[in-house]
């Protein structure tokens, strides 16, 4: 693994080649307060103007992803939301500027039932096949992009899910991860966040699985793919990319799978990677 710095950055890529550039949002393009610096925004816009395919690849749901797409000025291309569960085609000529071209759903009942038995005090939310958010108790998060509708647990069990979110205030991320591993979830893909936060998707669905479909559609060589991220839900994406870059503040298990490490989100680490492409 190498560490990306400003020195020698122009030698990192053949800038004449079109790249597919997959960018995480939280902890990569924006800090943990949701703020994006001018340097990161301008660097991303420069990459877009240079003709590269910039694809937002985020755990955020559709409604919380669209403002980032707008801020970067992306008017044509694709975006991956809900950790690979939803894929958008972006086109300014479409109503609203986008259309959903893929939505991968699963039966959440087995996972929810097992988690409820092990983590009875946890809060649960579910993004369904119509883009609604259903939740137990008062559970709202900015990554949803819409107000969650409070429902009974049994109603959640009957839904078709794109994404299930579980949040526990009683455990650390490590303790939460151990509890989830002990349950032995089957038939789903899951990742534990920075806090005691769990994201669940259909089996085999990750940011990388959705990006691979888009890479094939665009005809981009794997060698010309770049991915930048900081979270455990970015691990598969960083392994998938020809150039997988971990943010400086990423956990050790994320940094270990990356081909290089850039600065932290507070040092505009993503901008350093983006500037190397133009």
88: part of which helix (H) or strand (E)?
Answer: strand 86-91
pLDDT recorded at residue 177: 73
180 or 8, higher pLDDT: 180
What proportion of the chain, given as a percentage, has pLDDT over 70?
Answer: 87
Determine the Cα–Cα distance for residues 278 and 90; give it in Å rounded to an integer: 23
Structural domains of the chain in order of their starting residue, each with its CATH number: 16-103+206-275 (3.40.50.1000), 109-202 (3.30.1240.10)
pLDDT recorded at residue 13: 44
Q: Return the SS3 of 13.
A: coil
Q: Which of 65, 178, 202, 70 is nearest to 128 (CA)?
A: 202
Query: 17-21, 142-146, 154-158 — which is least confidently predicted?
Result: 142-146
Determine the Cα–Cα distance for residues 143 and 247; give it in Å rounded to an integer: 20
- pLDDT tens, residue by residue, 38-89: 999 999 999 999 999 999 999 999 989 999 999 999 999 999 999 999 999 9
182 or 204, higher pLDDT: 204
Q: Is residue 122 within 8 Å of 168, Cβ to Cβ?
A: yes
Query: 48-52, 71-75, 173-177, 261-265 — which is least confidently predicted?
Result: 173-177
Determine the Cα–Cα distance for residues 278 and 51; give it in Å rounded to an integer: 9
Q: What pLDDT band is residue 95 in, cutting at 50, 70 and 90?
A: very high
Full-prediction pTM beyond 0.95?
Answer: no
């Amino acid at each position: 693994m190498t560490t990306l710095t400003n020195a020698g950055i122009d030698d990192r890529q053949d800038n004449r080649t079109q790249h597919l550039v997959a960018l995480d949002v939280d902890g990569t393009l924006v800090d943990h307060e949701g703020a994006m610096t001018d340097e990161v925004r301008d660097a991303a816009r420069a990459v877009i103007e240079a003709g590269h395919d910039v694809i937002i690849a985020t755990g955020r749901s559709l409604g919380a992803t669209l403002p980032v797409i707008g801020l970067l000025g992306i008017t044509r291309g694709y975006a991956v939301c809900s950790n690979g569960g939803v894929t958008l085609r972006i086109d300014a000529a479409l109503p609203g500027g986008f259309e959903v071209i893929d939505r991968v759903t699963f039966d959440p009942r087995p996972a929810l039932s097992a988690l409820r038995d092990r983590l009875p005090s946890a809060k649960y939310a579910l993004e369904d096949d119509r883009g609604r958010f259903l939740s137990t108790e008062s559970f709202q998060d900015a990554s949803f992009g819409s107000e969650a509708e409070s429902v009974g647990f049994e109603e959640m069990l009957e839904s078709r899910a794109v994404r299930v979110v579980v949040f526990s205030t009683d455990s650390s991320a490590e303790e939460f991860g151990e509890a989830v591993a002990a349950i032995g979830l089957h038939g789903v893909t899951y990742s534990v966040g920075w806090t005691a936060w769990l994201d669940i998707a259909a089996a085999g669905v990750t940011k990388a699985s959705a990006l691979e479909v888009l890479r094939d559609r665009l005809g981009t060589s794997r060698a010309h793919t770049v991915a930048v991220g900081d979270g455990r839900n970015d691990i598969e994406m960083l392994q998938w990319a020809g150039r997988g870059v971990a943010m400086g503040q990423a956990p050790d298990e994320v940094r270990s799978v990356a081909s290089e490490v850039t600065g932290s989100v507070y040092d505009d680490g993503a901008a350093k990677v983006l500037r190397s492409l133009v």
